[in-house]
Amino acid sequence: MPWKVVMPRLDPGMKTGKLIRWLKKEGELVKKGEEIATAEGEKTTFPIESPADGVLAKILVQEGEEVPVLTTLAIVAALGEEISEEEFEREAPREAVEVRASPAARRLAKDYGIDLRKVRGTGPGGRITKEDVLRYVESAGLRAEPGEEGPRVLKEIELTGKRGTIARRLTESHREIPSVTIVMRADMSRALELRRREAAEGRKFSITALVVKAAAKALEEHRELNSSVVGDKIIVYDEINVGVAVSVPDGLVVPVIRDANKKDVMQITRKIEELASKARSEEGLSPEDVSGGTFTVSNLGAEGVEIFTPIINPPQSAILGVGAIVPTPVGGETGIELRPQMALCLVFDHRVVDGVPAARFLRRVVELLENPEGLI
């Protein structure tokens, strides 16, 4: 009896996976549980394992192809077993490839060469309309009229893999979450002095780690922001797992610092460095590295950005944007003084929390950063 090797679904929101590399060739022996391929999902890369002992009889999906989850990638057969032609045919789950669209939408999509699976339908039951295709044409920057000459193209970037996941999740967040942004500034004088003192003792911590620790401690007191909206329920989490946005060559990943409230700043610093290095390596992050986050911190201060409004990482309810530390004139005891100020932008889901509780949470983060000794 032959066994099918399929593209796994790693989480409920995963729609597709990309076959990166085959580690075995057709006709080679394989063992049950042995890694035979590497694939890329919506958050990370992961191994594909053989479902049984035998021979890799037929490869159906080539390296570089992106396919719906549960698509048959290959066939494993017992040694000497003959396989029928039907079992060599690539299979994909019916629900993953079926597209409901109006005739006008199909004609327009054909004119523009658009894959209707990439178009979000707004008609009854998710049916794709002509207007949906026109919106996609506009958002994708395609030619205004089929056949009309446009500007010269430097390159095309497929919205697949990590880049496609980023696009899909940010669009989902922007479309479905009624977000509100509030901004406060923290005086980082004592934090910078503490950082200098600790560095002199060989214990240099990062500002990002300090913010992660402050946010985690504040979440202990303001649990409503450590939550998700699932269906018609708000799920408040017991664990405080803070994701840290990390830039990688092909996009953005958010590795997770688990139980951040129970770690000290040096432990968080080392964990961020370890995960960031892993994210930028050929190995990449594992599914465990990026799953289970309950809150996110995104720091663009190192790039000179003072204030920005990040988009919530669904299904979480809040994200904290951290800006650069900037010398800023403020009123002091002896008049106007230049003090190192850092803007903190809290973006939160208004379905989950109102403005006053959110402001109290952010005020607590500011208090902790301005009195950082308790975070070390």
Along the 376 residues of the chain, how does pLDDT read in single tens digits?
789 999 888 765 677 888 999 999 999 999 999 999 999 876 678 899 999 999 999 999 999 888 888 899 999 999 888 877 666 665 555 444 457 788 888 888 877 778 888 888 888 767 888 888 888 888 776 654 444 444 666 666 666 666 666 777 777 777 788 999 999 999 999 999 999 999 999 999 999 999 999 999 999 999 999 999 888 899 999 999 999 999 887 778 899 999 999 999 999 999 999 999 998 887 788 888 988 999 999 999 999 999 999 999 988 999 999 999 999 998 877 788 899 999 999 999 999 999 999 999 999 999 999 999 989 8
Give the pLDDT of residue 96.
Answer: 45
Contact indicator for 50, 73 with CB cutoff of 8 Å: no
pLDDT for position 116: 85
Question: Do 30 and 139 belong together in one domain?
Answer: no
Nearest to 94 by CA among 70, 120, 116: 70
Backbone angles phi, psi at 71, to 5 degrees: -65, 140
H or E stretch at 241:
none
Indicate the burial class of 345 (C-beta count within 10 angstroms; 0-12, 13-18, 19 or more): buried
- Position 88 scores a pLDDT of 65
- Say which CATH number the domain at 130 has: 4.10.320.10
> What pLDDT is attached to residue 18?
86
User: What DSSP string runs through 131-176?
Assistant: HHHHHHHHHTT--SSTT---PPPS----S-HHHHHHHHHHHHHHHH
User: Is beta strand 295-299 parallel, antiparallel or unpaired with respect to 242-244?
Assistant: parallel
Q: What is the pLDDT of residue 9?
A: 81
- Single-letter amino acid, residue 274: E
H/E run at residue 116 = none
User: Are residue 308 and residue 365 in the same domain, yes or no?
Assistant: yes
Give pLDDT, residue 179.
Answer: 94
Residues with Cβ within 8 Å of 14's Cβ and at least 6 positions away in sequence, in order, are 41, 42, 69
The answer on 313 and 214 residing in a single domain is yes
Residues 37 and 133 in one domain: no
Q: Residue 206: its pLDDT value, please? A: 96
Q: Tokens in use for 345?
A: 């932008």
Taking the C-alpha atoms of residue 337 and residue 172, their distance in angstroms, rounded to an integer, is 44
Pairing of strands 179-187, 54-59: unpaired
Q: What positions carry a catalytic annotation?
A: 350, 354
Q: Are 365 and 230 in the same domain? A: yes
Q: Give me the domain span that covers residue 111.
A: 99-156
> Which CATH number fits the domain that encloses residue 245?
3.30.559.10
Q: Is 80 left (phi over 0), alpha (psi -120 to 50) or beta?
A: left
The structural domain count of the chain equals 3
Distances (CA, A) of 247 to 12, 163, 275, 277, 300: 25, 12, 12, 11, 10
Domain-terminating residue out of 156, 184, 204:
156
List, in sequence order, the alpha helices (H) in the chain. Answer: 94-97, 103-112, 130-139, 161-176, 189-200, 207-221, 265-279, 287-290, 355-370
**Do 354 and 271 fall into the same domain?**
yes
| Tokens encoding 375 | 């975070």
For residue 32, what is the domain's CATH number? 2.40.50.100
Both 9 and 111 in one domain: the answer is no
